[in-house]
Amino acid sequence: MDNALHKQIELQNIEIIRSQKTILTANISIPLEGITAIIGPNGSGKTTFLKLLHGLIDFDSGNYLPGADKLRSALVLHHTPLIRASVRTNLAIIRDSENIDPISDTDIDLALADVGLLNLAEQSALKLSAGERQRLSLARAKLQNSKTILLDEPTANLDPSSTDQMEIIIKKLAGQGSSIIFTSHNLAQVERLANQIIFISKGSCSEVTDKDAFFKNPPSKDAESFLHHELGWL
Residue 3, pLDDT above cutoff 50: no
Burial of 37 (0-12, 13-18, 19+ CB in 10 A): buried
Which CATH number goes with the domain that contains 7? 3.40.50.300
Confidence at residue 206, expressed as pLDDT on a 0 to 100 scale: 80
Instruction: Please report whether residue 72 resides in a domain.
Output: yes
109 is a domain residue: no
CA distance 121 to 110: 11
Number of structural domains (the chain) is: 1
Residue 201: give the domain boundaries.
3-80+147-231
- DSSP secondary-structure letter at 39? E
> Please, which pLDDT band fits residue 24 given cuts at 50, 70 and 90?
very high
- Residue 49: is it exposed, middle or buried by C-beta count within 10 angstroms (0-12/13-18/19+)? buried
80 burial (CB, 10 Å; 0-12 / 13-18 / 19+) is middle
Is 93 a member of any domain? no
pLDDT in tens, 57-108: 999 999 998 865 566 788 998 777 899 999 999 999 887 665 567 888 999 9
- Taking all residues of the chain, what is their mean pLDDT, rounded to a whole number? 89
